Amino acid sequence: MALLMDRRYNPFRDFEDINRAFFGDNSLAEFKTDIRDTGDGFLLEADLPGFKKEDIKLSLNGETLTIKATRHSDFENQEKKASYLRCERSYGTYSRSFDVTGVDVSKISASYNDGVLAVRLPKQGPKEPENHTITIE
């Protein structure tokens, strides 16, 4: 019975399609993250359900870590779009950036399991004071 209800005329369907095309679907625009202090570092966990591992990219630009994830859908294909009765799952490209000041960027590691991206961010060790002699000219 629920399937029949979805097939009824919906006067707002075209408006929803226009709204999605113009503004995009931002239900995952800011995917949810938790960041914990683990003592010797930080653990960032990002919920990215339904993404393929190869569609998730991490990049580092200076002291900014960016997580970018892309999900595709048959709904994007105009020929296949007509066969949909309803399309509520989100698709597109989503990204978030994080300040990683104080993190040893050379030791950042990541894993992806059961829809959760885990990024381990080790803290920088204490900096050794630089001792040097200055020559007087």
According to the model, what pLDDT value does residue 92 have? Answer: 78
Question: Tokens at residue 60, please?
Answer: 């580092």
pLDDT for 65-108, tens place per residue? 999 999 876 555 566 666 667 666 667 788 999 999 999 999 99
pLDDT for 1-22, tens place per residue? 444 444 555 555 565 556 555 5
- Provide DSSP, 74-95: GGGSHHHHTT-S---S--EEEE
Of 28 and 92, the structure prediction assigns the larger pLDDT to 92
Question: Tokens at residue 30, please?
Answer: 């800011």
According to the model, what pLDDT value does residue 130 have? Answer: 73
Could you tell me the pTM of the whole model? 0.66
Mean pLDDT, the chain, as a whole number?
79
According to the model, what pLDDT value does residue 14 have? Answer: 61
Q: How far is Cα of residue 99 from the mean position of the Cα atoms in its chain? A: 15
> Tokens 């894993």 belong to which residue?
111
Residues in the chain: 137
Q: What are the strands of the beta sheet with 109-113, ordered from one edge?
A: 33-37, 41-47, 116-122, 109-113
Question: Tokens at residue 48, please?
Answer: 């990215």
**Overall average pLDDT of the 118-131 stretch:** 86
According to the model, what pLDDT value does residue 116 have? Answer: 97
